[in-house]
Structure 1
């Protein structure tokens, strides 16, 4: 199927009035991105700051407006490059990184929206703060003047059968509910970012309102 057909199918599977669809564009061409934008995509997610920087001018030159989300691990030395472009940074997982984002955003006169990345399944191969430390870090981030915590993000263990990760999504939704209940000042807790191509429908059933889909839109990545 075409990119447009893939997007249409995904939108049939989720209520897009309640769930935000982010097209993950890592290793996909600008022409493919433009095709997705023409088919109704309003937000794109990049894993690497360099790739976001490289593609942004071409999308702008085509006259297209789209939200740029940074969904991959962010090193502190890349913050100065990421903050000017990113509408939402999904991958904040330490106080040190949050402070660096705060400093950079302050210099730009910006309030940077971020999500707290949590390693909910405690996988050694994944980034993210431990589940038990997430609310502590959320409270620390809420003290920063130029950072606005907007919710949580996780990457569930990969599985062929999405039902096997339903308990992970349930647990993460519980954490999201606990975070909202804290009513922290200087925050806007509205996004629960979980679910990708192989498991997004289960994630949505368990409360996700932001899903990150790459292969399901563009097909396999071109390396």
Structure 2
């Protein structure tokens, strides 16, 4: 990350590393914490709560990002445990987060997820609908709506998608860009990423899920 930032003429400390610990055992999180990592990304509210609920007292710098698609009936739990929700992608979820935040008296930092490659199997607001949705979220949430997140299509050059997301964020005055993963984070940094989501390059391959287990879930879902 440092090399990529310097090559792009950026300050290395301007880019945050989100260690994607989804499906990884708690022991792996503890090892990462011991090494100095403080920001983690999880897909599922239940799994995230189980790993991190009792760690904050000993690790006050710990921050939890939810990076998987959130069901509206889990919005209250998401608001309660997350420092950042990266997957705000539809009006009904915005309604649920707004209601939960009012009840709980706290509002995490929020990113709008854009389906930048317009892929039917992926979550995220469609690019053609993104401007209106972003503006609505800015009215609702103010500065808590910090930026945008996207996952470019597999097998294609991600650079045009990173550029498109960066331009969209700039057009709305949003400072945060969550883009780039283990295989492409240097390119994402070159295109303005302020956070990168890295899992396998830190933790190795995720454990294979078995039918009926908590791991046997859609990769972009929070239950």
Same fold (TM over 0.5): yes
> Alignment partner of 2:175: what SS?
strand
The aligned residue for residue 121 of structure 1 is 117
Given that residues 17 and 39 in structure 2 are in contact (C-alpha distance below 8 angstroms), is that contact kept between their aligned partners in structure 1?
A: yes
Given that residues 149 and 177 in structure 2 are in contact (C-alpha distance below 8 angstroms), is that contact kept between their aligned partners in structure 1?
A: yes
> Alignment partner of 1:96: what SS?
helix
The aligned residue for residue 6 of structure 1 is none
The aligned residue for residue 191 of structure 1 is 176
2:120 pairs with 1:135: no
Which of 59, 64, 76 aligns to 1:64? It is 59
Structure 1 residue 53, shift from structure 2 partner: 1.3
Structure 1 residue 41, shift from structure 2 partner: 1.2
Aligned CA distance change for structure 1 residues 146 and 170 (closer, same or farther; 3 Å): closer
CA distance in 2, matches of 1:207, 1:53: 31
**Residue by residue, what CA displacement relative to the aligned partner does 1:6-25 show, whole Å, maximum 9, x if unpaired?**
xxxx5554454110110000
The aligned residue for residue 79 of structure 1 is 75
2:107 pairs with 1:111: yes
> Alignment partner of 1:84: what SS?
helix
Instruction: Please list every run of 5 or more consecutive structure 2 residues that lacks an aligned counterpart in the other structure.
Output: 6-10, 209-223
Which of 26, 29, 35 aligns to 2:25? It is 29
Runs of 4+ in structure 1 off by over 3 angstroms are 10-16
> Alignment partner of 1:142: what SS?
helix
Select between 139-148 and 149-158 the one with higher mean Cα deviation. 139-148
Structure 1 residue 118, shift from structure 2 partner: 0.2
Structure 1 residue 145, shift from structure 2 partner: 5.2
Equivalences, count:
202
2:47 pairs with 1:51: yes
Given that residues 113 and 149 in structure 2 are in contact (C-alpha distance below 8 angstroms), is that contact kept between their aligned partners in structure 1?
A: yes
Given that residues 22 and 45 in structure 1 are in contact (C-alpha distance below 8 angstroms), is that contact kept between their aligned partners in structure 2?
A: yes
The aligned residue for residue 222 of structure 1 is 207
Structure 1 residue 132, shift from structure 2 partner: 1.6
2:190 pairs with 1:205: yes
Which of 9, 15, 33 aligns to 1:19? It is 15
**Residue by residue, what CA displacement relative to the aligned partner does 1:144-179 show, whole Å, maximum 9, x if unpaired?**
2588211000011123xx7x2111111111111111
Please give the TM-score of this superposition, normalised by the length of structure 2: 0.85
Instruction: Please list every run of 5 or more consecutive structure 1 residues that lacks an aligned counterpart in the other structure.
Output: 1-9, 181-188
Given that residues 98 and 147 in structure 1 are in contact (C-alpha distance below 8 angstroms), is that contact kept between their aligned partners in structure 2?
A: no
Structure 1 residue 54, shift from structure 2 partner: 1.1
Structure 1 residue 210, shift from structure 2 partner: 0.8
Structure 1 residue 39, shift from structure 2 partner: 1.7
Please give the TM-score of this superposition, normalised by the length of structure 1: 0.85
The aligned residue for residue 184 of structure 1 is none
The aligned residue for residue 167 of structure 2 is 174
Structure 1 residue 200, shift from structure 2 partner: 0.6
